[in-house]
Structure 1
Amino acid sequence: MRNFERNLFFSHNDSFDEYQKLTNIAHWIYPIWSITFIIIGTLSNFVSIIIFFRWTDRCSIYVYFTYLCLVNILIINVDITYHYLLPYITDGRMFLQYVLPLTCKILVFFTFFLRYIFIWLIVMINIDRCLYLTTTTLKLLICRRRSANIISLVIVIFSFLVNAHFLIFLKDPIRIESSSRKACTLDGFYYYCESRERYFENFYKNIWPIYNVIIFALVPVFIIFICFLLIARTTYLLRQRNAMTSASRQNDRLRSIGKILICLDLLFPVTIFPVLFFQIYINYYPPKTCLNIGIINLILSIGYSMSFIKNVFAFLIFYLTIRKFRCACSSFICCTNKFAVGSTH
């Protein structure tokens, strides 16, 4: 859940009608994109897992892609369903009173746990390809199936430890801030898990948003950016060196790798940063009028959907950037076994 400014309830005023209209539109938007994303994302990522799993013994990067698609399915079905579908297709008060008290702590943990695994898998995809193209010794050590599996396990453990504080300190049931019908509320800000430990409440409210941005966004993006520059430089030099037709297949693979990394690397900040920084801004500078609250509710109903584009449409990235993936999809649809053959590196 989102533990931002708690007292976000305002008495109605002249702008209450506008607030109600905007909020009702927002509540229609949530189920539409939630159901669409769950169906498309689950099916497409499942197909991707089948294809990449057949290739994991040939290239370490396919191990990361397999786990990435699995995490996508979990994020889509857990995060979207719990935060953006159930609250708006069920009775709100029933959801708050009977569902959240039993699931709040676990779902808060899993939300951040899965998101951290996702971004650090992308980081490792970049590091893996960077090492493969720029080194020899580390390439033989890191760019292997076994190493990829071990590193993926380390990422899972790291994500668990970083977010374990949710499981430790969020022990109390949901506190429900009830308000009258004529009150204006920010969607998703009127319930939260609480802890009796005051220092943790202070950490959760004032320090965690910055802590989360650093580990979830700034550090990964910095590593990705450095790897991207090294990969681009090495790829350019290799293409210059291998301009003969005998190296055309290697150049094709390098172009495919370059395209998919560009798409994955750009989609993360483009889809995550706007909503992330907007949430932080609201935390420290909450809106003061009903009209502004209604506008923010409408913005968030669309903005939250953007943050899942990278998870739902990963299949399209693979399909548009990897030629062998397109061939494998065609073979999969035609029920042949040709998609079991993948490239080496």
Structure 2
Amino acid sequence: MAVNYAFGSCSGELETLNLPKTTLELLQASCAPGTWKQDHAVTKQWFAFCTTNHVIKPHKPSIAQVLQFLSELFDKGSSYISINTARSALSIILHSIDGEKVGCHPLVVRLLKGVSRRRPPQSKYVTTWDPAKVLNLFDSWEESDHLSLEKLSLKLVGLLALASGQRAQTLVSIKVDNIVINNDVQIIISDRLKTTKPGRITELLFSQYPTKKLCVKNTLEEYLKRTKIHRTSDRKQLLLSFRNPHNQITSQTLAKWLKRVLEMASINTNEFSAHSFRHASTSKALRSGVPIDSIFKAAGWSSNSKMFARFYNRPVVDNKNSFMSGVLKM
């Protein structure tokens, strides 16, 4: 395992412990790769700040220097979320100050409260698009067995994203061996995801939908049949590229596919990204009468999560009971 730059910056605190390689790797594994990637940017900013401001011991700054760094981020226009991310990163790479982790220091906590009042965290979207636009697009296409592999792939990921309310990371993690198709479709995802706790698995359930063209099960069965010829022992993932050599796709490629679906449905992709599928599906489900606990469970939020209310529950533009049926209702 290559040592992450941000993690390597922690050496100021760890270098005196003379820890073996295995221990360092386990400490690095304490945070997800995405977290280290965020911390990497903050670490570079912090050391640049230390150079400019002649901070002699970057790993042992004063609380005044930390507050100045965070305040400068605010002055440069950084959002509350970005400054809070910086606070978390500094807690990892810096020594404790006054017996407190940097992020928990009373003055840092008060400063972040001030940031939240002056520049409250905002949802990316004020409104969201109506899933009916994407569903009408799919309904206008031919039956699944007559679609090109490209259109079939786009249709599958669009229906999976809408009918599950899940992130791209979750959908890319689906393995063929973990799909069980009977009357319904059951998908078990054992990979560690952003919202899963250690030892827990993510389960996706899709029932037979009466409108064949909008049925996840029907589309999935055709996709598995069509891609069987491209599957090898090292291609366990469900989603494969529709272009030769049909390799497994990444979350970034899936996001491009979802954005392409939005474009084909005449939805403004300058305003809405691939992640907006999650906003659109959960907002539509609520307005279709789906119980809030069913929405939380489908999307992977805990029962006491405030995420949906703060960032996802948005009015549906052109808005004309299970989670899936609530979303797919046109």
Report the TM-score when normalising by structure 2: 0.26
Instruction: Return the TM-score normalized by structure 1.
Output: 0.25
Higher relative contact order (CA 8 A, sep 6+): 1
Considering fraction of residues, name the structure with more helix.
1
